[in-house]
Amino acid sequence: MPHVPYNPKLLSAIVDRINVGVFVVDRDMHVLVWNYFMESHSGRPAEKVVGHDLFEAFPELPKKWLERKIRSVFILRNFAFTSWEHRPYLFRFRHNRPITGGADYMHQSCTFQPILAQNGEVEAVCVSIFDVTDTSMYHNRLQATLAELREMSFCDELTGLFNRRHIEHHLQREFHRFKRYGSALSLLMFDVDEFKAINDIHGHLVGDEILREVAKRAQSCVRGTDFVGRYGGEEFVVVLTNTRCKGAMVLAERIRVAIGSTPVECDQAKVPVTVSVGVAEAEAAAMQRHEALIQCADTALYESKRAGKNCVTIYDEHPNAANG
Amino acid sequence: MNSTATNLVETYQFDDDEQDALREVVNIAMGRAGASLAQILDTFVRLSVPFVHIAGVTEVSGAIGDMLGQETNVIAVRQAFYNSLRGEAIIIFDRKGSRALAGLMGYDKRTDGYIEQEVLLDVSNVLVGACLGGIADQFDMQLSYYAPAIMFEGGSVDDLLKEDRVPWTHALLLEIEFEVEGSGINCHMVILTPEESIGLIREQLHTILESI
């Protein structure tokens, strides 16, 4: 390999031209070095910046925070770092996505490095600025996708309520709590009356609109601690924690009235909609698993249907259903 | 890796003299870390006696678990260092302490998760830099650091290290506990260096022992 003699000029030329922002400040925050990356992104040539106070040259910098950061390097003789995740940028530099966009300014992660004098004291601090705009955009896209997936795995697409899987999981958890601590737990199950006929007469789009409206009205009746979910088709459930049968009955009646009292307006039609509700309270002796509670609410719902619909029935312990 | 280091690594455990010398080196470095932290927090920082130990891979996560007890709501920060020595430092905070820390660092009271993270990274960086810097100075070594990053948030310590996914079999484990007086803030720092660095540390310890 040919021998290349060490050339300090070459090194400084590289530092100047490297695709990383490099600048150096002394104890008085005067700029000592300002490389080409800093020149071209800030639009200020080195001769206009070097020798000047950094914060006077760039009044838009977050002075309090940045000065503290630089001071800590002088005091502690230690590296310091900043990440775009906490502060997206230090300087308002334009990013390399003038066409594809997606960010306001170049996102930057910075390293603050002590430059030691002969006596071991820190005489200056070198700041390196890395352009991490692309990384941050990929990161944000990933986070958005994960959030979307999380929502999709929890929610029913049509109504925005919790989906069956999630509501069952929640009920299971609450049932365990009930078993362990004995706090009250009730379950409502309700079903849109004559939904098949509505679909046949008005079409599926109206049917979908009605499900959305039913979900909305039910959701508006419950407390923040109650979980409403779409159990399937036109069937919904509400998990009521710390609620006894009597309280659940009051809520069930409120939901029934909220849905049945005003017809649902859709596609120029006013469609009267009613629901039948079944109410059941968890009982330690009779129920081993959460499925038993669902079964009881379902039985009560069936009773409401049999009694003529648009009404609420509380599960009444039946000799055959008592074994959970 | 040079052949001396390779041979030294064969016998991982430190003898009593080496152990004492290392503990002394760490003590001095810790004093510096405590002083640095006190300087930025403007309050007194209490440090535990450091625990220094060569641990097999299976021991390490257990050792971290023992140190923390059954803490389940922790935030861990990781910072890598390289140059003469290679390794990673892990700093574990409990969540309550991390909120108090933000207040102490002069950030306003709003519970912004990002500020909380920034403070944790800053404090971790100070601890790691001061402690390792103190050790490296005594060994006449140079160290460089990568930016610290949140490694793990809001889980159990059992999930920190997955034994089947680490590339080393023995590591030098350095455990230190910091407590910021009167604030309820305490954190644990674990510094881990793999086999190759253990040999280098041993060489440096011998240099120190011979000079006494």
How many angstroms separate the CA atoms of B63 and B96, rounded? 23
Q: Residue B59 has what pLDDT?
A: 78
Domain extent at residue A114:
8-140
Q: Classify residue A267: in a domain, yes or no.
A: yes
Q: Residue B145 has what pLDDT?
A: 93
Q: Classify residue A275: in a domain, yes or no.
A: yes
- Number of domains forming the structure of chain A: 2
How many angstroms separate the CA atoms of B128 and B145, rounded? 9
Q: Which residues of B touch A78 (CB under 8 A)?
A: 36, 125-126, 129-130, 133
Q: Classify residue A248: in a domain, yes or no.
A: yes
Sign of the Cα torsion A89, A93, A95, A99 reads: positive
Task: Enter the tokens of residue B92.
Answer: 């574990």
Do A48 and A82 have their domain in common? yes
Do A204 and A307 have their domain in common? yes
**Length of chain B in terms of residues written:** 212
Nearest CA to A125 out of A59, A61, A60, A81 is that of A81
Do A104 and A241 have their domain in common? no
Number of CB atoms found within 10 A of residue A287's CB: 23
- A75 touching chain B per CB within 8 A: yes
Indicate the DSSP class of residue A105: S
The verdict on a CB contact (< 8 Å) between B147 and A77 is: no
Q: Classify residue A1: in a domain, yes or no.
A: no
Between A196-210, B97-111, B141-155, the lowest mean confidence (pLDDT) is in B97-111
Position with higher pLDDT, B71 vs A7: A7
Between A4-18, B8-22, B192-206, the lowest mean confidence (pLDDT) is in B8-22
Q: Classify residue A197: in a domain, yes or no.
A: yes
Last residue of a domain, one of A117, A140, A163: A140
Amino acid at B103: G
Q: Could you tell me the pTM of the whole model?
A: 0.69
Q: Classify residue A87: in a domain, yes or no.
A: yes
Select the residue of A75, A86, A111 nearest B118 (Cβ to Cβ): A86
Report helix, strand or coil for A253: helix
Q: Classify residue A147: in a domain, yes or no.
A: no
Residue A229 has pLDDT above 50, yes or no: yes
CATH of the domain at A129: 3.30.450.20
Indicate the DSSP class of residue B157: G
| Domain assignments of chain B as residue spans, ordered by start | 14-211
Do A205 and A314 have their domain in common? yes
Number of CB atoms found within 10 A of residue B18's CB: 17
Last residue of a domain, one of A90, A109, A140: A140
The verdict on a CB contact (< 8 Å) between B133 and A78 is: yes
% of chain B exceeding 70 in pLDDT? 79
Position with higher pLDDT, A155 vs A317: A155
User: Angle at CA A241, nearest 5°, toward A237 and A244?
Assistant: 95
Q: Which fold has domain B14-211?
A: Chemotaxis protein chec (3.40.1550)
Do A171 and A239 have their domain in common? yes
Last residue of a domain, one of A107, A140, A173: A140
